[in-house]
Each structure stands twice: as C-alpha cells, then as structure tokens.
Structure 1
Amino acid sequence: MAGPSPISVYALRLGPGEEILSSLVRFVEEKELKAPFVITCVGSVTKATLRLANATASNTNEIIHLNEKFEIVSLVGTLNKDAHLHISLADKDGKTVGGHAVGDLEVFTTAEIVIGEGSDLHFTREMDEHTGFPELVIGSRSELA
C-alpha cells in the first residue's frame, strides 16, 4: 500500500469503430503514465470479449464474445502495462453482463473516458503464486529514484 497521492486527470473521447482497450493502452504509453486508472466511462459498444468471474489460472478460457449493441454502464480498473479492467454492459432490454475486459471493445457511438493518475505512485504487475495471475504491485515513485 502506498499513498496518499495527488492525482492528475485526463479526458479521452473515442469514436465509432475504435477499440477501447488498445486505445487506452496507447494513450497511457504516449503520456508515459506510471499509475493510471479509469475514473469513469460512458458510451456504447457493438461487441466485447469478456473473461468471466469463474476463470482460474488453470482455466482462463471462461470467455464470452458479445456481438450486439450495449451501453457501457461501468468501466473500472488500472491501466499499467498489463491493464486490468472490468466492464459492465447493458443490452437493449437493460439486462447487464460484465467481466474482465479482454478486448474487442468496439465503440458504437462514443466512449467518453476520464483517466486519473496517482502522481506519486507507480503501478507494476507481478505473478502471484496464490492466485496464479499477474497482480498489481503498488510502489512509490520516490522508490524508483
């Protein structure tokens, strides 16, 4: 655990056909952000690939591919090199589905995303032998100097 830390805030709007996850990773790389996270996101997608909650390190193929129009009702997570994002989507009837965002988050009309960065923090990921997944490691930028 590290902090508290002041934050910087960035805003990004993606248009039809753009892919959200790769666009966020590219944005973070271009801005050289060290501890980025999604504050909020609204918009819509035409498809998404999600890993479901019952996936384990030995069975990561609990994946669904969605190909219809959805409203983004939530997008949260950290955006370091190996982004860890969860998304909730609502269909035309208001029914929701969510999970770990794997990719293929293709924007339908817009994706309005607000990104924060902990100015004094540094995020990395390391394999956790207990979970079998690369987990967040939170450091202080002063430790890097």
Structure 2
Amino acid sequence: MQTLPLRLIPGDDLRAALEDAVRAHALPAAFVLQGIGSLSVAQLRYAGVDRPAELRGDLEILTLAGSLSADGAHLHMSVSDRDGRVFGGHVAKGCIVRTTAEVLIASLPGFRFSRETDPRSGFPELVVRPR
C-alpha cells in the first residue's frame, strides 16, 4: 500500500478533485482512508433517493471514505452544520471546499479497480482484479 496525502483548497469540487488526483497519479486502485475539512456546499444522495440533497452553509466534514478508480469514485461522507446536526450519504459532484479538505488516499498497486454495471443492483459497482 502506498499513500497520497492531498490538501484541497477553497472552491475545489471535492469529488472531482479526488477523481482528478487518481487520474493524474495513474492510481489503478485506491481508496480514501480519511478526510476532514469544511464545505460551503454539500451534495449528498441519501439511501433510496435518486437525486442528491443540497446543503449550504458552514459545513464540517466529519468523515469521508470510499473507493477510487479511473472509472470514477464511490464516496460516502458525513458533515455537520453550524448547529451540530449531522447529515450523511453518497458524495455527488458539487461538494465545494470552504477553507480546506485534507484527504489521505491509499493506493493498492497490486490491484486494478473498475466500475461495471451489476445487473442485480443496476448500478456501476466495484470490480476488483489483480494487476
């Protein structure tokens, strides 16, 4: 396992920046070990809902985890608002960094991740192959 620490800056799209990092560093299989920071906008898709909910304001990233491949990301995140209410779900594009996001990515050089539609779920699901 190899690690890649990242710091995202204000205005970055969290999901897009992580997908870009995977491509820029040619990581065949990676996952997010942990992420913290803040957002001004969070786009979270809740379980069983087709469209993401948009949260706006001063949001703290409490947890961030998921898998990353050249085919895209599958990320889940929990955030809290200024009143301490916690929201969590699937990370969609449009999560905008407010002050910083500090993310630690782990790369698994012996594997290759891809996302292929699974007929049972109907979604692009993770496929793990040895390299």
User: Pairwise CA RMSD of aligned residues?
Assistant: 0.9
| Counterpart Cα distance in 2 of 1:107 and 1:49 | 12
Q: CA deviation at 1:47?
A: 0.2
1:11-90 to 2 correspondences below 5 Å: 11-55=5-49, 60-61=50-51, 63-80=52-69, 81-90=71-80
- Give the secondary-structure state (helix, strand or coil) at the position aligned to 2:122: coil
Q: CA deviation at 1:23?
A: 0.8
More strand by share: 2
- Matching residue of 2:102: 112
Name the TM-score, length of structure 1 as normaliser. 0.86
Runs of 4+ in 1 over 2 A off after TM superposition: none
What per-residue deviation string (whole Å, max 9, x for no partner) do you get for residues 58-109 of structure 1? Answer: xx23x21111111000110011122100110011121100111111111111
The correspondence for 2:2, drawn from 3, 8, 13, is 8
| Counterpart Cα distance in 2 of 1:45 and 1:132 | 30
| Counterpart Cα distance in 2 of 1:22 and 1:79 | 11
- Unmatched segments (≥5 aa) in structure 2: none
1:89-128 to 2 correspondences below 5 Å: 89-128=79-118
| Counterpart Cα distance in 1 of 2:96 and 2:33 | 20
- Unmatched segments (≥5 aa) in structure 1: 1-6
- Give the secondary-structure state (helix, strand or coil) at the position aligned to 2:11: coil
Largest Rg, 1 or 2? 1
- Give the secondary-structure state (helix, strand or coil) at the position aligned to 1:67: strand
